[in-house]
Chains A and B, each alone.
Chain A
Amino acid sequence: MSEVKKNLYEAMFLLPNSRVNAENGSGTAIVNALLEKHHGKPVKVDLWDERKLAYPVKDQKRATYILAHFEAPTDAVQKLMHDVNISEDILRALVLAVPEFPIWRTAAEIDALRPRREPRKREDEWEEPGDRRGGWRDRDEYDTRDMDSGSGS
């Protein structure tokens, strides 16, 4: 009965760039420390992307995204979110319970998977420029038989 039920979680943490440096492994150490504090077992915590935000969050225009896969007891997430809201190291966090971990992909890897279209050909682009310049009059095989017979009778 004393067994604590554990769940799998996928979480995204938003860190301000001012708190991210090489010393804390581009912010992964902050997230790892937070997870371990709440008896979570980090499976994979790594940088997802560093990008411009769609709207400013706490006066930050850019931020670092860290994606974490971890295992934790069921009551840990509530306490974890409490710490996130207090902490100045983390702007925001989204924690989702997942039945199983999805494949770990960075933003660049997801973008690379995107099926791309072939570039559309512009209408004003000429296949062979100069081919038909001057219209049909310049053609060598210009047949005048129709015109002669038409005006005859």
Chain B
Amino acid sequence: MAMMSKQMKERRKKKNKFKKFAERLPCKFCAKQKPKVVDGAPAPVATEPEDKRFDPAVGIDYKNLDLLQRMVTGQGKLVSRKRSSGCARHQKAIKYAVKRARFLALMSYTG
């Protein structure tokens, strides 16, 4: 019986490991959250986005094809928010950028 209970405990641990709702990742495109400014402390250093392959100088734009190519699947569908980024604002920006690029024949509608 002791063995059984051990096994049961392990199973329960495993179950907890794979939670039904995964923790949300921070948005790749948003700048990192600034540290809280304490009185007398030096000003926080300028932040940069989480995604190192994203260049904020170009931004999410229909001309930034390198970024948009990563935001669609092999078939040309938009990737889910889970895979692309974390926040609504940037997902929407990606959506419009991809649709504009498709209209101008910079990207394909289908694979």
Interface residues of A (CB under 8 A from B): 12, 14, 48, 53-55, 57, 63, 65, 67, 92, 94, 96, 102-103, 105, 107, 110-111, 113-115, 117
Q: Can you name the residue of chain B whose Cβ is closest to the Cβ of A91?
A: B105
Nearest Cβ on chain B to A28's Cβ, whole angstroms: 18
Contact of B106 among A54, A102, A103, A113 (CB under 8 A): A54
**Distance A102 CA – B105 CA, assembled complex (angstroms):** 22
The proximity string for B residues 22-50 relative to A, scoring 1 for CB distances below 8 Å and 0 otherwise, is 00000000000000000000000000000
B57 in contact with A113 (CB, 8 Å): yes
The proximity string for B residues 88-111 relative to A, scoring 1 for CB distances below 8 Å and 0 otherwise, is 000000000000101111111100
Q: Can you name the residue of chain B whose Cβ is closest to the Cβ of A60?
A: B105
A92 in contact with B104 (CB, 8 Å): yes
A94 in contact with B100 (CB, 8 Å): yes
B104 in contact with A65 (CB, 8 Å): yes
A55 in contact with B108 (CB, 8 Å): yes
Can you list 21 residue pairs at the A/B interface with Cβ under 8 Å? Answer: A12-B63, A14-B104, A54-B102, A63-B105, A92-B105, A94-B62, A94-B100, A94-B103, A96-B100, A103-B57, A107-B63, A110-B64, A110-B65, A110-B66, A111-B66, A113-B57, A114-B55, A115-B52, A115-B53, A115-B55, A117-B53
Which B residues touch A94, using CB under 8 A?
A: 62, 100, 103-104
Which A residues touch B105, using CB under 8 A?
A: 14, 53-55, 57, 63, 92
Contact A110/B58 with A94-B100, A94-B103 known, Cβ cut-off 8 Å = yes
Most-contacted residue by chain B among A92, A102, A107, A110 (CB, 10 A): A110
Q: Can you name the residue of chain A whose Cβ is closest to the Cβ of B96?
A: A96
Nearest Cβ on chain B to A78's Cβ, whole angstroms: 18
Q: Which 4 A-B pairs have the closest CB atoms?
A: A53-B105, A54-B108, A114-B66, A54-B105
Q: A94-B103, A110-B64 are in contact. List 8 more A-B contacts (CB 8 A).
A: A48-B63, A92-B103, A92-B104, A105-B63, A107-B63, A111-B66, A113-B55, A114-B66
Nearest Cβ on chain A to B106's Cβ, whole angstroms: 6
**Distance A14 CA – B66 CA, assembled complex (angstroms):** 20
Nearest Cβ on chain A to B50's Cβ, whole angstroms: 13
A113 in contact with B104 (CB, 8 Å): no
